[in-house]
Amino acid sequence: MSTLFIHIKELLQTREKAELKVMGKSMSELPHIKNAFLRINGDTIHSFGPMDELVVEDSDEVIDVTGKIILPTWCDSHSHVVYAGDRSQEFVDRINGLSYEDIAAKGGGILNSAQTLQNTSESALYQQSIKRVNELVKLGTGALEIKSGYGLTTDAELKMLRVIKKIKENSAIKIKATFLGAHAIPKKHSDNKKEYLDLIINHMLPEIHKEQLADFVDVFCEKGYFSLEDTEQVLNAAAKYDLIPKIHVNQFNAFGGVALGVKHKALSVDHLEVLNNEDIEALKNTDTIPVALPGCSFFLGIPYTPARPLIDSGLPLALATDFNPGSAPSGNMNFIVSLACIKMKMSPEEAINAATINGAFAMNASKEYGSISIGKKASIIITKELTSYRQIPYHFGNNPIYKVMINGVFVE
């Protein structure tokens, strides 16, 4: 069965399949075809081009999308979408003057979510989480990385990762799983961090490996959480199980986490709200991609990742939501693309590249997702009628989406 879209106003992000990320100046180029066709065969992109090169075949279901734009689905490479309950009380506490750090110091924050998750069954956790994932798909997300890190005991971390595995099995979108046992130090081990690191290294990692529950490993490398030495210990242990690092660095303090990530061949270094020249230098000529999370900056009122120096230094940049109950309770990639343009001075072309092909790269999925390329998965967004793709970030907070197709099937 093949589906043929005709009269596409703009077909965005048309690339050779071999192109896996874009960096520096190339980020300002968003290849596209005006008045285009796109043929989908099964779950795969079969062909595309300008309308005047189209040959219609008998087997085609033909859909005329005059006035509408088609682009690849968003690739959200950093989320904590599996969590229990919410933290709307802390939201109100922050409105009333407490900072994110104050709340964490009082035993709220990540430890609050961990407490709620401890008391939530695996099936309830799955139900809460899959509902959120399904909402994200309607908002155009076609590939999603999900982290553990609200368990903080072996059983609860395994519970989270099993829920992520179940989402992988039951959702049509691409899911990647990251083990983030080193997200916070649980109360029980607050006087003895080494004890908790031992638990991660000698108990959690072997169990996770046994059940093949993770693709990546993450550490919250930050003052008051995990130091450079702690981070290195976890990354070394995870490397024995072939877990590639994707790490939280430079959210509040810059102290060498970026260089450490590069040294350990991290796929990505994420957050980077606080960034210095050494960090930028460390990233040059490496395969580690920086990831910005502007939803977190927006929600917490902290600085935005300095996109301009990163891109103007020739580096790639990806955008992700960081969807989590504490610092970024939204997984809407359309809004993230707007924020990147409005607050980080990225052009619409740069922001769309960062949220598609570079997002896919940051989760090791850009061979299949992130661009309109022959042979890649037919996961696409069909927009409402728009004058140009610039309207996607321009109408911030608006939903530009008419329909979403995942692997060749329309989302209801």
- Count residues near ligand NIG (CB under 6 A): 13
Among 110, 213, 319, 352, binds ligand NIG (CB under 6 A): 110
Rounded Cα distance, 272 and 279, in Å: 9
Nearer to Fe ion, 76 or 322 (CB): 322
Work out the burial of residue 347: count CB atoms within 10 Å of its CB; fewer than 13 is exposed, 13-18 middle, 19 or more buried: middle
Site string for ligand NIG, 222-261 (x = CB under 6 A): --------------------------x--x----------
For the CB of residue 38, give the shortest distance to Fe ion in the complex, in Å.
34
| Stretch binding ligand NIG (CB under 6 A), from 39-47, 57-65, 304-312, 324-332 | 324-332
| Stretch binding ligand NIG (CB under 6 A), from 43-51, 67-75, 108-116, 231-239 | 108-116
Expressed in angstroms, the distance from the first to the final Cα of the chain is 19
| Stretch binding ligand NIG (CB under 6 A), from 51-59, 109-117, 131-139, 278-286 | 109-117
Rounded Cα distance, 31 and 35, in Å: 14
Name which of residues 350 to 379 contact ligand NIG (CB under 6 A): none
| Stretch binding ligand NIG (CB under 6 A), from 69-77, 105-113, 153-161, 205-213 | 105-113
For the CB of residue 160, give the shortest distance to ligand NIG in the complex, in Å.
13
Q: At what angle do helices 348-355 and 333-344 cross, to 10 degrees?
A: 140
SS (H, E, C) 133-174: HHHHHHCCEEEEEEECCCCCCHHHHHHHHHHHHHHHHHCCCE
Q: Which are the contacts of 55, defined by CB distance < 8 A and separation ≥ 6? A: none
Q: Hey, is 364 helix, strand or coil?
A: coil
- Residue 268 binding ligand NIG, by CB under 6 A: no
For the CB of residue 174, give the shortest distance to Fe ion in the complex, in Å.
19
DSSP 323: -
> Which has the closest alpha carbon to 405: 375, 374, 373, 383?
383
For binding to Fe ion (CB under 5 A), which residues are involved?
322
Which residue has its beta carbon closest to Fe ion? 322
And the tokens for 217? 């490993």
- Residue 113 binding ligand NIG, by CB under 6 A: yes
Interface with ligand NIG (CB under 6 A): 80, 109-110, 113, 220, 248, 251, 296, 322, 324-327
